[in-house]
Structure 1
Amino acid sequence: MLKQIKYISLIAVLISAASFAQERTKDTLDSEVVNVVKPYTPTVADAFKIKETPVLDDDVNTTKKEIKYNIFSIPVASTFTPAKGKAATVNKVKPIKLYDNYASLGVGTYTTILGEVYLNHELGRGENVGGYFTHHSSSGGIDGVLLDDDFIDTKLHVNYSQRLRDLSWTLEGGGLYQKYNWYGLPKPYFDATTADTLDVGHQFYGGNVGAKIKLYDYLIKDASVRYRRFGDNQGSGENRFVLKGTADVPIQDELISTELTIDYINGSFSRNFYTDSKINYGNVSFGIAPSYQLTQDDLTLNLGVNLVYKNNTGDFGSSKLHIYPNITASFRIIDELMIAFGGLEGGLKQNSYYDFAQENSFVSPTLYISPTDQKYNLSVGLKGKLSNSISYSVGGYYMNENDKALYTSNPVFVEATEDYQYGNSFGIVHDDVKTFSFVGELNVDVNRNFKLGAKAEYFSYSSNSEAEAWNLPDLKASLFMDYQIDENWFAGAGLFYVGERKDQFLQYSYIQDITSIQETVTLDSYFDANAHVGYRFDDQLSFYAKANNIADKTYQRWINTPVQGIQFLVGATYQFDF
């Protein structure tokens, strides 16, 4: 309103001034009429806001009545005194003390002794020395066995490591002593009379030295070297030297991960199964496997090739260059819930007397050993998580192998002069085998105290020269469980199932003109259940009890070699620091 009054006053002054000016110039200027035309341009000042609350002009205005509130107050005596508030506290779990060393000892039925010691000591910052010692032995006593079935398995390993700013390295060495028996004398072809004339003990000796180095921020990432000597009390001996290294090779601003391998093996047996002719075997292989990884969104693809040149140095085999695919891929279909994977891989697998003896302790010292040419292994499957506590994996595999090593029962040799020539030992035959398999696995971590896992595998084989894929099962399954009952008690169990296998029984004469006996034998499937329970006395000392082969089935893992029945073992474990 004040602005409007101000504008009106200003206009009046301008009009008066204009009139005064006209009177002053009337005598000298002629009068003219000038019309000024200007369009109206409103401004903000010309607008006014309508009042939101209009003024009421009613004839009758009602007046609100005044209301008074009263309370009926009665004094109440109280002795309550509020306590001072305290902040809520969280019950802290006592941290578990971790020790660097432990020793365990157990004894059980069949005069079984199970011992284990693991040591690790820090000499200084980044400098450690350690090792382990294991011993497992039994005096035997399997029902129905005509020969000694005791065994000893002792291993020792020591290491020294140091971690520096740019690299870390380790020196290690070890040895082993093992004793087994060829106790699988076939009945009723032989009886106690023959058994009393045999000494079927077979002892293994071995030692190894090696070194590892790992580099940080270098093109060469790591390297390792190992030498192993292995032999037995039958005049056998084997030397193996393996050198491996990985490096990142830059090519046009891209890094190609490359693995280099040199694998040398040389060994001999004092005779073959039938004659006194010596067996010599050996080869050296040179491998290079470059690989390039491509990552895009949810896809990870590794493209590579594996080149291996094998130079034969033994009595049999040939030198050859092998080219294998090395392709793997994974694709996240639904984050971590479902991941598809697949691959096409291959390689030259170096077989050795050491590996065969560790897998089948009843092999004879008369093996023809050569590497297995795995032309390709095709895989495809899914893996992921059904929830935070449940993970799964399913997959199908198709593998094509040349010169695959198959265990088969050695024949009953009529002109036997050695203790392993009575059908109680195993040899090796090589054949081209194609394998189709399907694998499913499920792991459940209900909580920190309970874990459950299951795995099932189905196999189908196609052999080329041999009648069967000897001693390879058609089905394998396993189930394990670990349960931390409370702060002190813990328990666990393991169930294993192995399906049917096929082997052969042979009788052969090298001199006599007799009809050879050859039969295909089907080994029954078997089920093995193991369980253990333990009590943790304190942070350092705990006690345990184990039961193996609970079903008390003297099944045969290999033909004519039944295992021990139900076994019980009790022991204690002590953890400590130096």
Structure 2
Amino acid sequence: MLKYTLLIGLGFCSFVTFAQEEEQVPQEEAKGNLGEIEVVRDYKPILADAVKIRQSPDLTNNRKYLSKLNYSVFDRKLDINTGTHRLEIQQLPAMRPDILTNNYAKIGAGNFNTLLGEVYISNGEDQALQVGGFAKHLSQKGSDYEGQNFSEQKIGLFGRSILDRITLNGEIGFNRYATRYYGFVPLQPELNTDPTKQHYNDLYLKGELNSNYEDNEELLSYSLKVDGYLFGNAFSTKENSFALSANINKKVNAFNVGANVSGDFTSLKSNDLSLGNHIARLNSYIRFQGKNYKLTLGATLVSEFGGEENRNNIFPTVDFDFALVPEYASIYAGVKGDVVKTSFRSLANENPFLTESPFLDTTSNSLVVRNMLEKLHVFGGLKGNAGATFGYKVGVFYKQISDLPFYAIQPNSPSRYDIIYDRGEKNKVFGLEGDINVRVSEAVSLGGNLLFNEYDLENEAEAWYIPKLRLAANTRINISKKVYIDGELFFNDAMKAKSYQQYAGVSGTDPNAPVTVSMPSFVDISAGLEYRATKQIGVYVRGNNLLNKGYERFLYYPRLGFNIIGGVNVSF
């Protein structure tokens, strides 16, 4: 029964399959007969209620607030081993510079018979070894007063060597300055019709040894300096000096300990008389230094010997520096004392019209030299800078001084100056000082300094020839790569000079009685212009005392009026 049933089913399936076989239509008829399509009704898509969105759209178009995202980026080095290596710098072959600026020469001439010659020579290319020399000549002759002549010559050799552990510096030279006693007294012009010649010769030697900086702070730092000179005028006054000084410093934990020691041995000779003026000095200190402060505590022992008076003094030394704003503003303060050497050389460089023997005491027929004693010197102020374009310093000071040296004309010869002293024990000086340097741009720079002094003396009526205010300013402007301008201004406040009735026009019973003469303030302005015609040759012109004022720095000695000088300088 199962067999027959299976056969009947298979037969029925084959019949149905044969019934669905598609009738073959000839190819020619198929091209013209596309068939028939019966349309029952239009098609309309209908969605079920379950998939419909029953919410109206919001058309306000407001952007939603997005919170700020914070990312935490880890500082990790990405190591990628690509086989690359650091590039090596290719060394360039040594080339000779186009211009050697370490050597130059200058010549010039101007009114008042002005002659100028200057030369400077140095090896210049080896930074560890510098050797060179210089020479200069300048002479002028005024026409307003008899003997108003000046001349100056300088010549010297220098050297500098930087070794592994030390640096050596040295210089030897000769300076000569010549003039005449052309002092002119308006009320008595016949006093000085034939001015006497005067000149000063200065042969000097300098040497210095310094230890080089080491990374190891525990090493001992040290320096040694020697200074000597032979100085004399056209007459019989001579001064010889030899000074030796040394410094050692050692860092111990958080502080430094050190000492400065020096010996200055000076001898003075005049009119077959001689006198010694020797000063020995020892300064020991301990310095505490932190990140923003520095404090130095110490004491100075000064001994004077070899002269008329021998003195020993001990002075405290306190120096404090604190950075209010590091690298921009610091306050400083201190207390100290010292002995300032009275030197024939330094006094003559300031006032060349000293008498033939300024230290001769005619009453005792002996030489008298007294060193200035600063019993107390208190100072403080503010200093700082703003990078390399602006630097400043302003401070005040107070001093108690004895044996102050001053200039005074001789009673019987007003064209010559003596040295007098105020030996008061209660002399006081209050002062204000300031410095400023401004670099406006790479082409413009400015600078200036100010000094104000107020003296309260015990014996002398005034601080002779010392102005209350001195002001100096300078500028340099690079107009282009070839044109340079520089200028200087110097202001000297009114001064007091010590004279006598017969020269000052004061009537009295004693013509040799001293009187005080007021000297007016003055301003001295100078300016210069330089044009670089080529990279090695330049042309310059300079004017001095542009206001053409015959002012007096020292009584009865008028200065030259407006003078101009021009010439050529060469670099090689």
The TM-score with structure 2 as length reference comes to 0.75
Question: How far did 1:248 drift?
Answer: 1.7
Which of residues 172, 192, 195 in structure 2 aligns to 1:195? 192
Asked if the contact 2:102/2:122 (under 8 Å) is kept, the reply is yes
2:338 maps to 1:344 = no
Corresponding residue of 2:366 = none
Matched AA of 2:354? V
Asked if the contact 1:105/1:115 (under 8 Å) is kept, the reply is yes
Going from structure 1 to structure 2, the CA distance change for 1:283 and 1:384 (only over 3 Å counts) comes to: same
Corresponding residue of 2:319 = 328
Question: How far did 1:262 drift?
Answer: 0.5
Which of residues 417, 433, 438 in structure 2 aligns to 1:439? 433
Q: Partner of 1:59: helix, strand, or coil? A: helix
Corresponding residue of 2:554 = 558
Going from structure 1 to structure 2, the CA distance change for 1:165 and 1:440 (only over 3 Å counts) comes to: closer
Question: How far did 1:482 drift?
Answer: 0.7
Corresponding residue of 1:410 = 410
Deviation track 1:240-268 (CA, whole Å, cap 9, x = no partner) reads 00101111257788531211101011012
Corresponding residue of 1:10 = none
Deviation track 1:388-424 (CA, whole Å, cap 9, x = no partner) reads 733332211112221121122222x2xxxxxxxx210
Corresponding residue of 1:214 = 210
Question: How far did 1:571 drift?
Answer: 1.7
Deviates more, 1:525-534 or 1:291-300: 291-300
2:321 maps to 1:294 = no
Report the structure number with the largest CA radius of gyration.
Answer: 2
Q: Partner of 1:355: helix, strand, or coil? A: helix
Corresponding residue of 2:200 = 204
Going from structure 1 to structure 2, the CA distance change for 1:234 and 1:521 (only over 3 Å counts) comes to: same
Asked if the contact 1:495/1:528 (under 8 Å) is kept, the reply is yes
Corresponding residue of 2:417 = 426
Deviates more, 1:482-491 or 1:437-446: 437-446
Corresponding residue of 1:21 = none
Asked if the contact 1:249/1:258 (under 8 Å) is kept, the reply is no
Partners in 2 of 1:61 and 1:124 — Cα distance?
A: 94
Corresponding residue of 1:516 = 512
Corresponding residue of 1:180 = 179
Deviation track 1:259-293 (CA, whole Å, cap 9, x = no partner) reads 110101101222xxxxxxx6533222211112222
Matched AA of 1:320? R
Deviation track 1:179-238 (CA, whole Å, cap 9, x = no partner) reads 1111113222232xx434x34111212212343222336635211112211112211111
Going from structure 1 to structure 2, the CA distance change for 1:129 and 1:456 (only over 3 Å counts) comes to: closer
Going from structure 1 to structure 2, the CA distance change for 1:199 and 1:493 (only over 3 Å counts) comes to: closer
Partners in 1 of 2:330 and 2:255 — Cα distance?
A: 27
| Gaps in structure 2 of 5+ consecutive residues | 1-47, 55-96, 360-368, 503-508
Deviates more, 1:468-477 or 1:340-349: 340-349
What is the identity percentage for the equivalent residue pairs of Structure 1 and Structure 2? 24
Partners in 1 of 2:404 and 2:325 — Cα distance?
A: 39
2:140 maps to 1:138 = yes
| Gaps in structure 1 of 5+ consecutive residues | 1-56, 64-94, 271-277, 414-421
Partners in 2 of 1:58 and 1:133 — Cα distance?
A: 114
Corresponding residue of 1:228 = 229
Going from structure 1 to structure 2, the CA distance change for 1:181 and 1:537 (only over 3 Å counts) comes to: same
Give the total of aligned pairs: 460
Question: How far did 1:345 drift?
Answer: 2.2
Q: Partner of 2:349: helix, strand, or coil? A: helix
Q: Partner of 1:357: helix, strand, or coil? A: helix
Matched AA of 2:185? P
Corresponding residue of 2:114 = 112
Asked if the contact 1:288/1:308 (under 8 Å) is kept, the reply is yes
Going from structure 1 to structure 2, the CA distance change for 1:385 and 1:164 (only over 3 Å counts) comes to: closer
Going from structure 1 to structure 2, the CA distance change for 1:515 and 1:389 (only over 3 Å counts) comes to: closer
Going from structure 1 to structure 2, the CA distance change for 1:111 and 1:224 (only over 3 Å counts) comes to: same
Matches for 1:449-488 after TM superposition, within 5 Å = 449-488=443-482
Asked if the contact 1:382/1:394 (under 8 Å) is kept, the reply is yes
Q: Partner of 1:398: helix, strand, or coil? A: strand
Going from structure 1 to structure 2, the CA distance change for 1:385 and 1:195 (only over 3 Å counts) comes to: closer
Matched AA of 2:494? E
Matched AA of 1:551? L
Partners in 1 of 2:159 and 2:380 — Cα distance?
A: 41
Partners in 2 of 1:405 and 1:179 — Cα distance?
A: 24
Q: Partner of 2:123: helix, strand, or coil? A: strand
Matched AA of 1:450? V
Matched AA of 2:111? T
2:356 maps to 1:365 = yes
Deviation track 1:153-192 (CA, whole Å, cap 9, x = no partner) reads 111111234332222323431112221111113222232x
The TM-score with structure 1 as length reference comes to 0.75
Matches for 1:302-317 after TM superposition, within 5 Å = 302-311=296-305, 313-314=306-307, 316=308
Going from structure 1 to structure 2, the CA distance change for 1:488 and 1:140 (only over 3 Å counts) comes to: same
Q: Partner of 1:447: helix, strand, or coil? A: coil
Partners in 2 of 1:522 and 1:515 — Cα distance?
A: 18
